[in-house]
Structure 1
Amino acid sequence: MARLSENVKYYRTVKGMSVRELAMKAGVSSSYIYAIESGARGSNLTKLEKIAEALEVPLQRLWEEKKYP
């Protein structure tokens, strides 16, 4: 779950999006994005698909191990 949290936040910041912008683009609440990024919430596959689409990354990338710069 930590990897998912880190990757959502990473891709959001790389895209220059605020939590609110991502939430609006994905059709979910800002509190849901905050909860995902903090690791405090279990994932809902349908919502994660929308988040990945909004971030313009394949869904599986949200779980991949990344080596951040």
Structure 2
Amino acid sequence: MNKIDCFGDFCPIPLLKAKKEFKSLNFGESFMLVTDHSCVVESIKEYFNKLTCTISCKEIFNGVWEITVTKD
């Protein structure tokens, strides 16, 4: 699983990185995006909920999220 570090990145940069990574995935593969901005969490969820995939989001520290996207 590839990990995309988006610390300090504001929208739309993390979403663009996530879209690019998602295109390279085969079915059943995942990537993890790590961010420190809550707006990134919302934009990732909003975009990927429209696609055939599974999204998991965990706040691992106060203000730090890990978002895992799996292509279904």
Structure having the larger proportion of residues in helix: 1
Same fold, judged at TM 0.5 (above):
no
Tell which has more relative contact order, 1 or 2 (C-alpha 8 A, sep 6+): 1
Give the TM-score normalised by structure 1.
0.30
Structure having the larger proportion of residues in strand: 2
